[in-house]
Amino acid sequence: MAETPHQASRQRQAKVMTAAAGSAGRAVVPLLLCALLAPSAAYVLDDSAGLGREFDGIGAVSGGGATSRLLINYSEPYRSEILDYLFKPNFGASLHILKVEIGGDGQTTDGTEPSHMHYTLDENYFRGYEWWLMKEAKKRNPDITLIGLPWSFPGWLGKGFNWPYVNLELTAYYIVSWILGAKRYHDLDIDYIGIWNERSFDSNYIKVLRRMLNTQGLQKVKIIASDNLWEPISTSMLLDSALWKVIDVIGAHYPGTHTVRNAQLTQKKLWSSEDFSTLNSDVGAGCWGRILNQNYINGYMTSTIAWNLVASYYEQLPYGRCGLMTAQEPWSGHYVVESPIWVTAHTTQFTQPGWYYLKTVGHLEKGGSYVALTDGLGNLTIIVETMLDDSGGRFTLDLQEDELFTLTTLTTGRKGSHPLPPKSQSFPLSYKDDFNVDYPFFSEPPNFADQTGVFEYYTNIEDKGEHHYTLRQVLNQRPITWTADAANTISIIGDYHWSDLTIQCDVYIETLNRGGVFIAGRVNKGGILIRSARGVFFWIFSNGSFRVTGDLAGWITYTAGSVEVTAKVWYTLTLIIKGSLSSGMLNGKPLWTNIHVNYPKNGWAAIGTHSFEFAQFDNFHVEATRS
């Protein structure tokens, strides 16, 4: 496959190179790369001294967090087309590995993902979308490797502390339950399990986890540690033989293509277990191509996993469009197959886990690199990249800067395609949801993106009337956080460019005296920045008061007062924002009018609660204009 502005001549020359590779077999093959060379250099591919390390595959992360949130809301056939580009062999990215977040109820970059155990005695293996995503990946590629890793944990595991290692057996039980639930309810075999994403590890916990996995018949599940830096995990393993024994893979994040001496001394598999995290433009794709080659050349890393799989979250959240492709408009069906998909395919479509790198890999004299892999059965694949800002770099194959070539004996790869998706459209200016879903396909309603807390479809058995089916905030305790979760729960929806808008929603406070809920407009921040979100927030409280604030944290108060509100009663809130003025109504009657709100000028709509408390929402309705 050739990705270059001058594809025609490159493709003709690549065919010549592929033919040369086909006759190589298992011999010294200097002629293959000699055709690539400038007269001053020679690059010999040679397996006479044996092979290099075993290749473990290329993958991507769904989660860390809520990065695939909007994907499940796509209608068919567009949802299946997106999944084909990600997972279908010999079609698009053709990923070998899918790594998912084990939802822990906390904010983990672009939103929260629900836990399978919100509370101590609670177990539900149908929350969230990662189960569905893993099944869809397996449906397309039964051999895909599955990895689970927690970012946050439900608060009950910490017993009052923001720490998952208070009770090692309890946390291990929680993780092992997720693995067993994947098998029991979804027939999914988890291949690898991680410890705590980019946070501290506990050596004793890792040993306890291994013992519990074995006790539950999960000996085949391997452990990756520590999904952070190369150190101190590498040194800890060298000093602790019991720890060394239970860890199968050392996984580092964003290693810059290099490893450290102690990691190599462990003689364990070395992975870049999270990498990329770059805008999925052509420049970002070039960065990804360089990483895929040089992680092995410089650091002996045999697997590289991209964050993230698909940019399926609101683009104005942190790290917008940092996925291998973009699918952020389920309301229109529009998606974009970005360049990183095809850069990935240069490796994934012409190799498989279990192949071996040749020892003769390295850097090109004038910038770039090359790797070669073989299946040991006569097949050979060579990937050459020149993704460097280096003048010169011209070879007899006429390689230019910022190009990527794959030369292979295989004939199975192709650049798959589906019909063009629908054109891009803005979020609807008029939007309603009554949450009247008896058996929801997914635990959360379309297009709502939880930023703190978890909002789920709920069947209200106490109300057989209008509010029998509602949306409920279900956390009553702050999770063990990975980042700076807000003190309030909040779920955003809509178009970041909304300016003038009217939001109406029925609300139901469940907590006596201390409970509170809000609706909001022009919310300007989310993800890891949610604590500092500005906007117009209309609050009512079960103690009989209301407030209007200019921020989620409640530092900026526009107006406040008393109102006849109590818990366990349904109320209808209406928030009207037009220009620099805002007004609010309770049950259709004006509560406050023409309050000046000069900042921000635009943002999402939102709902939420005053604290981690149960509350319900129904008949959500927005009418908006874009700025």
Positions marked catalytic: 198, 274
Pull the structure tokens for residue 416: 């798959």
Pull the structure tokens for residue 231: 């150190």
Cα–Cα dist 217/214, whole Å: 5
Cα–Cα dist 183/292, whole Å: 31
Q: What single DSSP character describes residue 207?
A: H
As to burial, measured by CB atoms within 10 angstroms (0-12 exposed, 13-18 middle, 19+ buried), residue 37 is middle
Radius of gyration for the chain, computed over Cα atoms and rounded to the nearest angstrom: 26
Residue pair 82/70 in contact by the 8 Å Cβ criterion: no
Residue pair 498/603 in contact by the 8 Å Cβ criterion: yes
Pull the structure tokens for residue 404: 């990527």
Residue pair 257/294 in contact by the 8 Å Cβ criterion: yes
Cα–Cα dist 523/601, whole Å: 9
Count of beta carbons in the 10 Å neighbourhood of residue 245? 11
Residue pair 227/274 in contact by the 8 Å Cβ criterion: yes
Cα–Cα dist 575/359, whole Å: 66
Count of beta carbons in the 10 Å neighbourhood of residue 484? 12
> Strands across the sheet with 534-541, in order?
449-452, 489-493, 604-609, 516-523, 534-541, 545-551, 557-562
